[in-house]
């Protein structure tokens, strides 16, 4: 491959500070010589066989495009633009990341939905293509361009990847979309996203994730790929470095649980915020020996991920609450064994000795059981 050498003029520090220059003729530059990289720039992430698109999941990441960093042999930042098109020849640019310095970029489900609309692809079962087939599948093309210098300027050197094609399918509108989840890998479980505990959003299309997790030290939050799998290389978030409950997607730090324990974890990946509250659980109420005056503490079992206690109860009511206070408490609104924050009192219909189990391990699907011994 023929190498192209080009100089890039950069203002010296003195010129940038405006020291000692009265006209353009006096501007002082130094020159950096860059070359067209000999190696190719290619995508290094794995692509799904098909990407499923639906309006309720529009805010989810469809794919995080990752590529290698070409060497222009110049001490100047390499910048990138990821572009997408519904045409293989890129006669139109239907998605653009804009200029970025990271060698990765998340493309959202909403971006692919916009491209599907350009193609006239939709999830309406009554809509068919010219051959009478369901008009719900389409293809998009993506490429990345690396460059040094001012993009489009005379001194710019670029290196462009070969395009990749991805296939997507638009789901029927009104079809039930899964509740979004994110994983919480970290020191507490060996930093493995695929086996990490999960947080769940309140409903499809929401980014208000919640769940209970035993934390011990550093951890992060990882989103799923297009197939719903959790792994490094997917979009992930960590602390912005201030440790004040703010998240970053790039240049982030590990979130830190300074005290090992069982936390209520609340994350909003749109607002880029998180909150972690250390909890210890007990029961309180007229059914317990101490009534509504104080809690009877439960014990956490790390093997089952549940809290439990065996004790005598009278035929009366009780509730579960954390940290000997009412800020975090759960009850049963429908007497069906499922729990809601601030829910109704749980009624014991017959006095006796009971084993009481509190299971908060399934995000937003909290349950309990009462077993008479």
The domain locations on the chain are 40-170, 181-278, 281-372
Q: Do domains 40-170 and 281-372 have the same CATH topology?
A: yes
Q: Where are the alpha helices (DSSP H) in the chain?
A: 13-16, 109-119
pLDDT at 5: 41
Distance CA 243, CA 234 (A): 23
Q: How many whole angstroms from its chain centre is CA 82?
A: 20
Q: Give the per-residue pLDDT at 16.
A: 38
Taking the CB of residue 52, how many other CB atoms lie within 10 A of it?
Answer: 19
Say whether domain 40-170 belongs to CATH 2.60.40: yes
Burial label, 123 (beta-carbon count in 10 A; 0-12, 13-18, 19+): buried
Fold of 181-278: Immunoglobulin-like (2.60.40)
Just give the CATH number of 281-372: 2.60.40.3620
Interatomic CA distance for residues 358 and 350, integer angstroms? 19
Return averaged pLDDT per consecutive 10 residues of the chain, 373 residues in all.
Answer: 40 37 45 62 87 81 87 77 96 93 88 91 76 84 88 72 93 67 97 96 88 98 87 95 95 96 96 97 97 97 94 97 98 94 97 96 94 92
Tokens (6 digits) for 351: 């006095």
pLDDT of residue 158: 84
For residue 205, the model assigns a pLDDT of 73
Q: What is the pLDDT of residue 18?
A: 39
CA distance 54 to 295: 46
Tokens 């470095």, residue located: 241
pLDDT for 74:
65
Tell me, what's the pLDDT at 30? 44
């Amino acid at each position: 491959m023929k190498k192209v050498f080009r100089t890039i003029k950069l203002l010296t520090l003195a010129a940038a500070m405006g020291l000692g220059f009265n006209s353009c003729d006096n501007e002082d530059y130094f020159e950096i010589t860059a070359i067209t990289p000999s190696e190719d720039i290619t995508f290094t992430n794995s692509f799904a066989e098909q990407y499923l698109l639906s309006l309720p999941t529009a805010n989810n990441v469809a794919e995080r495009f990752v590529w290698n960093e070409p060497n222009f042999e110049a001490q100047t930042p390499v910048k990138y633009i990821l572009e997408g098109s519904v045409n293989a020849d890129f006669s139109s640019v239907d998605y653009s990341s804009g200029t970025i310095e990271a060698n990765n970029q998340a493309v959202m489900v909403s971006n692919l939905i916009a491209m599907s609309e350009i193609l006239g692809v939709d999830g309406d079962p009554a809509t068919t293509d010219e051959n009478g087939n369901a008009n719900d599948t389409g293809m998009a093309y993506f490429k990345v361009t690396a460059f040094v210098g001012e993009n489009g300027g005379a001194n710019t050197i670029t290196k462009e990847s070969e395009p990749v094609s991805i296939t997507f399918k638009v789901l029927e509108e009104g079809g039930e979309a899964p509740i979004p989840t994110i994983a919480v890998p970290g020191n507490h479980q060996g930093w493995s996203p695929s086996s990490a505990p999960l947080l769940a959003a309140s409903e499809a299309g929401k980014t208000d994730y919640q769940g209970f997790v035993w934390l011990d030290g550093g951890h992060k939050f990882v989103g799923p790929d297009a197939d719903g799998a959790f792994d490094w290389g997917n979009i992930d978030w960590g602390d912005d470095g201030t440790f004040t409950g703010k998240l970053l997607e790039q240049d982030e730090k590990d979130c830190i649980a300074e005290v090992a324990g069982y936390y209520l974890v609340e994350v909003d990946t749109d607002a880029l915020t998180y909150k972690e509250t250390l909890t210890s659980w007990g029961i309180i109420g007229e059914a317990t020996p101490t009534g509504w005056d104080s809690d009877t503490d439960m014990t956490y079992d790390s093997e089952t991920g549940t809290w439990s206690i065996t004790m005598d109860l009278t035929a009366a009511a009780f509730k579960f609450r954390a940290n000997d206070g009412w800020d975090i408490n759960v009850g049963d609104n429908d007497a069906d064994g499922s729990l809601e924050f601030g829910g109704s009192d749980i009624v014991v219909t017959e006095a006796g000795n009971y084993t009481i189990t509190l299971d908060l391990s399934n995000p937003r699907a909290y349950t309990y059981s009462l077993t008479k011994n």
